[in-house]
Chain A
């Protein structure tokens, strides 16, 4: 429940105890309080259906992107202290029990199997992970057997999800009367259908989890099995996950050797929406006089002149099915060599496959289309480490760690596309039913990058008061150009327990803790690079007629940069932790500044001399800085009653410093304005519909828009957006560099996570509130649905006929403040005093939760919780693709024997 590195029960959180089983690095160089550890007590309550959700809002500087979509699908992106790279690799490195992994694998672990998350944000910690640590690291420690006693537990929950907010569009009658009043030629299907409702339903969720553990004096084990099922609020889309996990530990030879062994497997099914924007766009704007289902002729009615949408009910039949299989296993041999020496060997193997199957029926796509693909990944990791730790007579301590590591990955994939279906009965299951294999619709690929690393770490502590840590890691990757194969990532950090140092402080009754810490280091990011980017290669570039036969030729398909390397992020941090009144009040503060150099970016390059206009190169730089504050209060702490209030606030600032530099003697620079995101839909193709930009000297993702001074009345009584002549050239031109200005940023300047928990005897209640402030959202949905020009081909909002705007030029008129405060969940729990009732049951807990209770915001669209963190073409733009807002109600049961 606490969310601060030191809290009222801080003694539970010493890194040494919590991370002892993390296999990668046995000596933990984390300064006390620096690494943010989220153990079970701090994970989110309520209806948690995947692991990352347990983390959302709990750690300062960690943003789990929600993207306004279904919960199971939404947690695809996490940002630790913002975006540090333009090209890729912004997801933090995920390490599960020592095995390098990824976010999707993490999401297939059942939350109750996780003992703790450790978030590494500072360079002195991320530098340990060398060329891959720049975007932060999430270490996950799963639960292991605890000892000899046998335990078995069940926990599960069941819930329903129901929509509480749709877009306010014209109803069937409203559509009819509006069209008649305006004298417009419209199609009357004779019905009265709310298509937004027609594609939704009440969602159902159930999760079940059984775990048991036991063992003897020298060994222990834990095994668990989990099942999750979700019928999403959008019809015809279900998700499921099945996961199993076994961990064993055996001590041998008088405890000289310890063997750890773990296996984890999961099988996850996700039925995604093939084209989210098209489905929600169609549901909102389909002619509401059409039937809720097929028409009398057995076909799907669609607005005959609305080319950008289809019948939403027909679109529901588009299939985009993913099946993900994970198999991970690891084994570690640790030797206690006596006399301060330890030796450890660790090996892991993981296999995962992602199978994707899509089918687009003939009534949605002429001739239909089936697509199947599979990507298989195998990952081997082996490392050896030698540790030395010694306590001197004077109480000073030294720890030294040497690590050698080798990692190899092998990825194979293929895909195939078939078109020309005469009926839809086979779907993607029998592709023979399609008549053509279009060129380019089938392919396969392979890559096998390898990474070798060596690391040295030393830590010295003076009387447990001052601690100094230094480390250096060298990474050699096969992915980089000759001459850049090896990178070097050093770091240094220190911490000082001020409270312990001065006896005067210790004598103060109100002060209970005070320490400061700081660090500096380098870490790398390789995310934007694929295996063969730095090599001159030819690929099949097409099929032509040659000498009378269709022939596949090879050609250059992209510019090659032989000098590619990782980008480097240098970070500095300084922080302090303070505790007052026996740690009933704790405060932490941390400031960080980081700078990404040699930034990987797809630069615009001139054609000629280049063949293509994009080149991946290491130029440019970006900075991130911020302040993270935490406050923990325990106003009441009694036997029967406890109140905890925790609050974390982070201020983040990002700046794109430069996107220019020299490439082989040529000065490369990016254009002044580069658009990241634009609007889509009818009448929005091309032209000046770009909304979000990256601009040098600005934060990544700013709104660069024409300024609307208000609505101006046209001759026919309708209204247009009046655009200001910002460059005073007497001409209205909304092109880049002309009548546009920077109107705000898409990423929040401040985020907030807060938790209030109260316990009275066996009852507890917990409320989580999250918020984001200082950013804006472009309401492209309203711009589109308020445009009377598109009526009656496309349905419009209820307010549209009255407002009578006949214009769809993108201006700042629809740029709104994105600030919000979201009541994320409220959980009421009862720990049933069962001990008196049964000698076998040790704990029985019942809980009731409501998720997504309410949102306070001035934003006029469906929800302000869109993608405000991940830099892609959806950043900051609400454009006809949001799920209706929904609430979840769930009941949870947990029994331990």
Chain B
């Protein structure tokens, strides 16, 4: 009860201190805002070395001539997309609108975009070696125009556009050619059964009735693992803040962690003021034990720090459109353990500093050095060289970032073990700091 009385008083003092509000709540938001607006779209995203093939899919599909009634219509554009996505070193990006694709190419943001027209499936289905069919094959591969498809090219990036087009050609051949062979052989089998059997015996390594490349070559079908078709995310609807941009998944936790340790200043000032104005003497003259006084001091710091962490994560979601990931409840132990270590460090500085100026100088220096070393200051630890990333693990900040990264930047599949490990290390930092502060803190400064 005595501890709570002390804690309540300190909480009241902290909440009435405009410096605390500015340092702990306003400054991190301002940092996130400024960096969020000024950083490019690639910040916070994994560098992706794969070739990006952008497509616009206007294909309306076509009824399968071989299927029983009621079967799904053919969507050859989807087959092409799947084949592309399964190709090593390639990632497929679907742009929903043709106008958007034209604008991207015109602005030089895409070298080429493959467009499937509304009749693409119909034309592919009608492609045949037989009389009356559409023959899309020509000297360079597949004549896209005959299949109601074409490529938008940026004339300033012709090399890149040619590479993308060639990739598209190979895929088209892999899709169209087996269909044409399979269809033709099916017709032969219908009309000249024995001949078909002879032909099949002459080409034992091929299934001439297969309509896919894998079936034709008697190879195993590719699994869909790793096939990735991403939808292009436009920037216009996110506003000037670029709400929901990936960079906020990195910036918000980085500055939440960095400013958690600014608690050092607030708590240091509180302690020094208590000494300077003589109220510490009154506390010591009251029937309070040393642990009670320290607990009374630690509790409000901890509550303030947890409040700060939760506030910034909530603000990150509401203001910057940040996602809390698929395991949002795991954020709570990360906030708690980060606060524990920040509180310990704050107490340690308070134990060593004798004046408000010392708190300001040593505290700020310490917080900024640790923030720089850990990678908080630059927003993303991934920007640091590998050896520095290892070195940064001597700071509690880095462990907090590791945990946040798992939960926020890797939301689909966070490694809970890493999160737990980080929380344990953070708690360990906190306890060590508190023990050091306990041994250094002098309450009996009466002379």
Answer whether A and B are interacting partners: no
